[in-house]
């Protein structure tokens, strides 16, 4: 669990930290947000969280242009920086696979295992 409100207030002291204000700051289009629905707010907040914590601008796949055309739902400004791709190390990949295997052994199934 991560609370973006104190994080935003700490990162930008004195600035407004509402979801609308953060969307405006980061160029995230929330114009389709007429009502405060939990699912829609969570989707928008996911984009805000990614920008605030690491410079990633979207939860979409790496081929953003193709996905946007398929989904027809664009919330991010077109003039934003390109998505920075950070690959994991061999050690991180091995640790991840070991964790997935431990989950599979403990419960009999692992939804995140690609095998």
DSSP state of 111: T
Contact between 58 and 75 under an 8 Å Cβ cutoff? The reply is no
Q: How far apart are CA 95 and CA 80, in angstroms?
A: 33
Lowest-confidence pick of 19-28, 36-45, 76-85: 76-85
Catalytic site residue from 36, 70, 82, 84:
36
Beta strand extents in 36-106 (DSSP E only): none
Residue 96 is a catalytic residue = no
pTM: 0.47
Closest-CA residue to 23 (of 69, 58, 75): 75
Which H/E stretch holds residue 19? helix 19-26
The model's pLDDT over 36-52, given as tens digits with 9 standing for 90+, comes to 678 888 888 888 888 88
Q: Which two tokens stand for residue 60?
A: 């979409």
pLDDT at 67: 41
């Amino acid at each position: 669990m991560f609370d973006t409100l104190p994080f935003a207030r700490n990162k930008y002291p004195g600035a407004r930290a509402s979801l609308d204000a953060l969307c405006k700051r980061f160029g995230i289009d929330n114009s389709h947000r007429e009502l405060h629905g939990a699912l829609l707010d969570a989707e928008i907040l996911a984009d805000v969280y990614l920008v605030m914590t690491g410079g990633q601008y979207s939860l979409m796949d790496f081929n953003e242009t193709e996905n946007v055309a398929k989904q027809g739902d664009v919330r991010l400004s077109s003039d934003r920086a390109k998505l920075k791709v950070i690959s994991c190390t061999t050690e991180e990949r091995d640790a991840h696979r070991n964790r997935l295997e431990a989950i599979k052994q403990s419960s009999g199934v692992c939804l995140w295992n690609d095998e």
